[in-house]
Amino acid sequence: MEGMAGQKSSLTWAVNIAALLLVILWTIPTAGLLVSSFRDRDQISATGWWKSMVAQEQTGFVRTGGADDQVQDGDLYVLEGSLVEEGQTLAAWGTSSRDPGAFAPGDSTEVDGATLSVAENGGYRLESTVPFEMRRGERIFVVTESPPSFTTENYSRVLNAEGIGRAFMNTMTVTIPATVIPILIAAFAAYALAWMEFPGRALLTAAVVGLLVVPLQVSLIPLLRLHNEIGLGKGYVGIWLAHTGFGLPLAVYLLRNYMAGLPREVIESARVDGATEFQIFRKIILPLSFPALASFAIFQFLWVWNDLLVATVFLGNTREQLVMTGVLRELMGSRGGDWEILATSAFISIAVPLLVFFAMQKYLVRGLLAGSVKGG
Beta bridge partners of 217: none
Its pTM surpasses 0.75: no
More confident residue, 141 or 26: 141
- Please list, in sequence order, all residues whose beta carbon lies within 8 angstroms of the beta carbon of residue 266, skipping any fewer than 6 positions away: 284
In 122-163, alpha helices (H): 153-159
Closest by CA to 152, choosing from 235, 38, 63, 62, is: 38
More confident residue, 42 or 307: 307
Position 9 scores a pLDDT of: 62
**Residue 98: helix, strand or coil by DSSP?**
coil
Pairing of strands 89-94, 71-73: unpaired
Distance between CA atoms of residues 192 and 278, nearest Å:
10
What is the dihedral angle through the alpha carbons of 208, 213, 216, 218, rounded to the nearest 10 degrees?
A: -110
Pairing of strands 123-128, 114-118: antiparallel
Which tens digit of pLDDT belongs to each residue from 287-305?
A: 888 888 888 888 899 899 9
Position 364 scores a pLDDT of: 66
